[in-house]
């Protein structure tokens, strides 16, 4: 066995671990669930929410599983009466400083509320509500992102994402004590900061304190997810389209990214991929092939008719002026396979090397 690999014990189960790994990482690989609110695999561990505290043999205090590095022979307990008491008190403290519904649970949001899910699995300590006057930015006129301070638990996932993933630093934790909030420089609107409006802060927020302005909140109960590929560039980012309505009247109401680690974009999207989906239902969008008739007007046609007309037109140009009179330009919105077929049509079918791709410019 490599010197970097060793065995540890979690809940009495022998687990193989590697130097530098955290308790949370080893447990996740072994199928052992450790609840957390502040953890995101794309971010450096912060140990901010204190939900993931575990017992480590030889340690007097409970330790944060997301940040505690394992060592050879370590024995860890993730479920015990002591840990359960801690969680009940912790969730009670969160709920005392959180917007609740009629059942006394954290409100459900269109972005989900992981605190609500955790609170429903236990019986949080009942505490009197406290006043935490966290400042919001109600006058922020950016078109995409809204901040709800009453839902914020100050886990700092959004600010860390903005710093560590986007390297933008548009938002930060500001003030102290009960007045700590998610702020911008001078409490400006996001349009007046370095923010790129990628929406990654919305995606990583565990309680729905950051909300997309464009989409319904919450989404209708009949909303369904459809996985697809973003067509704004050639990177190939995967999207989850949230579609509402029946087939005849279905519409895309929201776009989110698949969870981190699943696809090429690792849970990240740019402003276009996340928010620029209005074109899908735009009244000027062409939804069927059109062929210009002898009257000079465009008329609807089938795909077979349109492809045949295009091939005939290209053939006539080649016959009259030669193959190099033709030029083909492919799109970065196409897949690699589609771009390959385009250059094959150019070179093998029509005999010209006049083929280009827009992403090369």
Domains in the chain with CATH codes: 5-79 (3.10.20.740), 145-212 (3.30.70.20), 224-281 (2.20.25.90), 290-360 (3.40.50.740)
pTM of the complete model: 0.84
Question: SS3 sequence, 70-137?
Answer: CCCCCEEECCCHHHHHHHHHHHHHHHHCCCECCCCCECCCCCCCHHHHHHCCCCCCCCCCCCCCCCCC
pLDDT of residue 65: 96
Look at residue 110 in the predicted model and tell me its pLDDT: 77
Burial of 27 (0-12, 13-18, 19+ CB in 10 A): buried
Kind of pairing between the strands at 355-357 and 328-330: parallel
Q: Which two tokens mark 14?
A: 């022998």
* Reported confidence tier of residue 361, pLDDT bands at 50, 70, 90: low
Cβ burial of 294 (10 Å; 0-12, 13-18, 19+) is: exposed
Q: What is the percent of the chain where pLDDT is above 90?
A: 76
Please count the CA atoms within 13 angstroms of the CA of 349 that sit on its side-chain side. 14
Q: Give the span between the Cα atoms of 43 and 158, in whole angstroms.
A: 10
Residues 6+ apart with CB under 8 A from 287: none
N-terminal to C-terminal alpha carbon distance within the chain: 50
What distances in angstroms separate CA 47 from CA 156, 158, 222, 266, 296, one per listed residue? 10, 14, 36, 22, 67
> What average pLDDT does range 231-235 have in this prediction?
81
Of 19-23, 129-133, 282-286, minimum mean pLDDT range: 129-133
- Name the residue among 166, 2, 159 with its Cα closest to residue 72: 2
Query: Mean pLDDT across the stretch 336-347?
Result: 92
pLDDT digits over 92-137, tens only?
A: 999 998 988 888 889 888 778 999 999 999 999 999 988 888 889 9
């Amino acid at each position: 066995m490599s010197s970097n690999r060793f065995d540890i014990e979690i809940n009495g189960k022998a687990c193989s671990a590697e130097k530098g790994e955290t308790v949370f990482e080893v447990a996740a690989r072994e199928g052992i669930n450790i609840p957390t609110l502040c953890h995101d695999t794309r971010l450096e561990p912060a140990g901010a929410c204190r939900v993931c505290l575990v017992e480590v043999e030889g340690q007097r205090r409970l330790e944060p599983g997301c940040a505690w590095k394992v060592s050879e022979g370590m024995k860890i307990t993730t479920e015990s009466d002591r840990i359960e008491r801690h969680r009940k008190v912790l969730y009670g403290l969160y709920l005392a400083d959180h917007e609740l519904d009629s059942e006394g649970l954290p409100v459900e949001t269109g972005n989900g509320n992981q605190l609500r899910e955790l609170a429903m699995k236990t019986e949080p300590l009942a505490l009197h509500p406290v006043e935490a006057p966290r400042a919001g930015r109600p006058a922020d006129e950016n078109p995409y992102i809204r901040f709800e301070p009453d839902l914020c638990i100050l886990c700092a996932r959004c600010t860390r994402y903005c710093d560590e993933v986007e390297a933008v630093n548009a938002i930060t934790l500001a003030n102290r004590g009960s007045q700590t909030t998610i702020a911008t420089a001078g409490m400006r609107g996001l349009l007046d900061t370095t923010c790129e409006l990628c929406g990654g802060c919305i995606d990583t927020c565990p309680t729905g304190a950051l909300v997309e302005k464009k989409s319904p909140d919450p989404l209708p109960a009949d909303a369904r997810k459809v996985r697809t590929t973003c067509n704004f560039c050639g990177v190939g980012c995967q999207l989850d389209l949230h579609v509402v309505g029946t087939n005849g009247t279905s519409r895309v109401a929201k776009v989110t990214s698949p969870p981190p680690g699943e696809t090429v974009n690792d849970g990240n999207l740019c402003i276009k991929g996340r928010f620029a989906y209005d074109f899908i239902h735009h009244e000027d969008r062409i939804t069927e092939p059109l062929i210009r008739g002898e009257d000079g007007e465009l008329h609807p046609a089938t795909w077979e008719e349109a492809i045949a007309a295009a091939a005939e037109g290209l053939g006539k140009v080649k016959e009259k002026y030669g193959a190099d009179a033709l030029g083909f330009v492919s799109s970065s919105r196409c897949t690699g396979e589609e771009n390959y077929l385009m250059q094959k049509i150019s070179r093998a079918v029509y005999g010209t090397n006049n083929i280009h791709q827009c992403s090369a410019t």
